[in-house]
Amino acid sequence: MPELPLPKSIATVCLSGSLPDKLEAAASAGFQGVEIFEPDLLTHDGPPEGIRSMAADLGIAITLFQPFRDFEAVPEPQRRRNLDRAERKFDVMQALGTDLLLVCSNVQEAAIDDPARAAADLREMAERAAARGLRLGYEALAWGRHVNRWRQAWDIVKRADHPALGLILDSFHTLSLGDTLEGLAEEVPGDRILFVQLADAPRLSMDVLNWSRHFRNFPGQGELPVAEFTRAVLAAGYRGPLSLEVFNDGFRAAPARRIARDAHRSLIWLDSVLAAPSVPAAPLPPAPELGGVEFLEFAVDGPGGRDLSAFLSTLGFRKAGQHRSKAVELWRQGGVNLVLNAEPDSAAAGHFELHGPSVCATALRVDDAARAMSRAEALLCSTWRERVGEGERHIPAVRAPDGTLILLVEPGAAGRNIWESDFHLLPGDDRPGALEGVDHIAYALAEGQMDGFVLFHRAVFGLHPNPPMDLPDPQGLVRSRAMADPAGRVRMPLNVSESRQTATGRFVSAMAGAGVHHIAFSTPDAAGFLAGRGAPVLRIPDNYYEDLGARFGLADPVLEALERDHLLYDRDAAGGEFIHAYTVSFEDRFFFEIVERRGGYDGYGAANAGVRMAAQARARPWMPGGG
């Protein structure tokens, strides 16, 4: 079996900007090849030969020229015109220095439903291509007029029986129709598969043309079984490039370098997923096993983050430590550690300057920090080393797509733990009923960031994304997708809003970017935790509890207990329960949540999101000393 991984390629249509911008972005992200999407060449002001030499200078191959549309099985005189058109495109290919043309199945009404005719036409085109040393790959478009399955395309290629004609497979065109590659290895010799294009997509119920043209994304960002697809083409013996062809409205509008890096990351991740007896594993270390959140770090601009420590006190947090060498405090309650970092000249100070008071780092407990760092680096992530004082522990860190750091902590490592090594710990007890840990960390993202975040956390940390859902803010919809590790120890709902007026949109505006919008703390008894504490809890209207009674048939005393503490309630189909309350926000920025899960409830109370968001739109931010 030849060496794997296969060469990695990307179609220029995936990226924004001019054709030179696209080539440069693909090369700098580490791709070995690009497909030239014809409209990108047509709009380029310069000869194809210039693109050829530019690609050569960048060290990337032009793997394919695409697409050639509506060619086969048409009546004369269209047939002759199409062959003339092909000759002109062969000229362009020779100038570009690529030998492979993608011919996609005809979508025109005038196309004739006759595989023999299609085969004859393709054979003639292949004969002409061969005369110039070129090859053709025939691909079944999911919305082809008569040919939309790979098996039909293969049947036509077999009939045409020309050495310069082969098959091109595309994961979207196959998977979007619910088709699979079952039988491919038995029916198609590997060397007759000339090229493989990959795209993932969210599962959407819409016509496949629109779905394809606007909503494709990179493997790992969507919900299609792209890994199974790829495994099947490898099993058939295909050893050519794996090439991304993704039409996505958001990607077209985003910086090309960022999208190119996400694209390459998706293929590196895919390589690792493909590891199986039949396919040698790619050299990517396994994802870390996660043990929860060790601490969250806030960038602040004074001791105790000025008012932030007072805000934390209302929830029962207390100052539990002072850093040995830095203006950094540890605030703690039960299993929750919050670090308030006011150290000048630190990563936190840089974060504060850009974003104001906010979470600048999240520390995750991992089984092997060095291995996790290697994996992150192999996945093209930036890493960070903070300067440390003598005797202090160095914590390796990965930079997340929002610019915050994800610190990797091994709780079981030998030596003193991070708190003992770096902090003067202060004595003190936690009252009973205190918080157990961090239940989830919710991010607010700027538009166009969702797919990149999902891929990052899936690839680097092995978090699995839930299907997307919509949450109704009174000022617009918030699109939400939650991610979690298989054991549910690290949970991250990701939210994005088109409107800048929603709670999510306002936070992104205030932060000038994405960030941690709220942190949920887990407790075994939410009502007990809140009782008599006087925390600045978000006020939930009576009408909510009226409806809750009608929906769930809760007994009046239960309802009254919830209502007293402004607790929200949800119940899943299996009877699992979720009881939770929110604080008002700190400086109209982030806020906290108190969460009690019962009976295996695995969600985030999405049914209550509308009530919460409407209450937030009314509520004033917390004021020290105020209500």
What are the residues binding a second copy (CB under 8 A)? 16-18, 38-39, 41-48, 81, 84-85, 88-89, 92, 204-207, 210, 213-214, 249, 252-253, 447, 470, 472, 474-477, 498-499, 501-502, 539, 541-544, 546-547, 549-551, 553, 610-611, 613-615, 617-618
Q: How far is the CB of 108 from a second copy (least distance, A)?
A: 11
Q: Which is nearer to a second copy, 76 or 84 (CB)?
A: 84
The rounded distance, in Å, linking the Cα atoms of 351 and 296 is 14
Q: How far is the CB of 448 from a second copy (least distance, A)?
A: 8
The rounded distance, in Å, linking the Cα atoms of 456 and 265 is 8
Q: Which is nearer to a second copy, 321 or 536 (CB)?
A: 536
Q: Which is nearer to a second copy, 541 or 599 (CB)?
A: 541
Residue of 54, 56, 60, 51 whose CA lies nearest to 92: 51
Residue 410: what are its φ and ψ, rounded to 5°?
Answer: -100, 105
Q: Which is nearer to a second copy, 68 or 229 (CB)?
A: 68
Residue of 390, 172, 406 whose CA lies nearest to 287: 406
Q: How far is the CB of 2 from a second copy (least distance, A)?
A: 36
Q: How far is the CB of 151 from a second copy (least distance, A)?
A: 25
Q: Which is nearer to a second copy, 167 or 471 (CB)?
A: 471
In this structure, which amino acid lies at residue 387?
A: R
Q: How far is the CB of 544 from a second copy (least distance, A)?
A: 5
Residue 382: what are its φ and ψ, rounded to 5°?
Answer: -80, 145
The rounded distance, in Å, linking the Cα atoms of 470 and 224 is 20
Determine if residue 593 is labeled as part of a ligand binding site. Answer: yes
The rounded distance, in Å, linking the Cα atoms of 579 and 331 is 25
Q: Which is nearer to a second copy, 104 or 184 (CB)?
A: 104
Determine if residue 245 is labeled as part of a ligand binding site. Answer: yes
Cα angle vertex 192, ends 15, 247, to 5°? Answer: 20
Q: How far is the CB of 543 from a second copy (least distance, A)?
A: 5
Residue of 434, 472, 347, 341 whose CA lies nearest to 397: 347
Q: Which is nearer to a second copy, 202 or 396 (CB)?
A: 202
Residue of 588, 605, 584 whose CA lies nearest to 596: 605
**Partners of 579 in the beta sheet?**
569, 596
Count Cβ atoms below 10 Å from residue 431 Cβ, excluding itself.
11
Where do we find the tokens 């299996």? 574
The rounded distance, in Å, linking the Cα atoms of 327 and 302 is 8
Element (H, E) at 269: helix 256-274
Element (H, E) at 210: helix 208-215
Residue of 152, 127, 153 whose CA lies nearest to 139: 153
Q: Which is nearer to a second copy, 464 or 618 (CB)?
A: 618
Peptide bond into 303 cis (omega under 30): no
The rounded distance, in Å, linking the Cα atoms of 12 and 37 is 6
Whether the CB-CB separation of 427 and 317 falls below 8 Å is answered with no
Q: How far is the CB of 209 from a second copy (least distance, A)?
A: 8
Q: Which is nearer to a second copy, 185 or 208 (CB)?
A: 208
Q: Which is nearer to a second copy, 70 or 271 (CB)?
A: 70
Q: How far is the CB of 291 from a second copy (least distance, A)?
A: 38
Q: Which is nearer to a second copy, 553 or 625 (CB)?
A: 553
The rounded distance, in Å, linking the Cα atoms of 178 and 173 is 9
Q: Identify the sign of the CA torsion 56, 58, 64, 67.
A: negative
Determine if residue 170 is labeled as part of a ligand binding site. Answer: yes
Q: Identify the sign of the CA torsion 551, 553, 557, 561.
A: negative
CB neighbour list of residue 423: distance below 8 Å, 6 or more residues apart: 321, 322, 323, 324, 330
| Crossing angle for the helix pair 78-96 and 115-131, to the nearest 10 degrees | 40
**Partners of 321 in the beta sheet?**
330, 425
Q: How far is the CB of 248 from a second copy (least distance, A)?
A: 10
Q: How far is the CB of 21 from a second copy (least distance, A)?
A: 8
Q: How far is the CB of 34 from a second copy (least distance, A)?
A: 16
Determine if residue 197 is labeled as part of a ligand binding site. Answer: yes
Q: Which is nearer to a second copy, 1 or 550 (CB)?
A: 550
Residue of 523, 477, 473, 471 whose CA lies nearest to 493: 471
Q: Give 252-316 as a DSSP string.
A: HTS-HHHHHHHHHHHHHHHHHHH-BTTBPPPS-PPPPPEEEEEEEEEE-SSGGGTHHHHHHHHTT
Q: How far is the CB of 36 from a second copy (least distance, A)?
A: 11
Which residues contribute to the annotated binding site?
Answer: 139, 170, 197, 245, 440, 518, 593
Write out the binding residues for Mg(2+). Answer: 440, 518, 593
Annotated binding site for a divalent metal cation: 139, 170, 197, 245
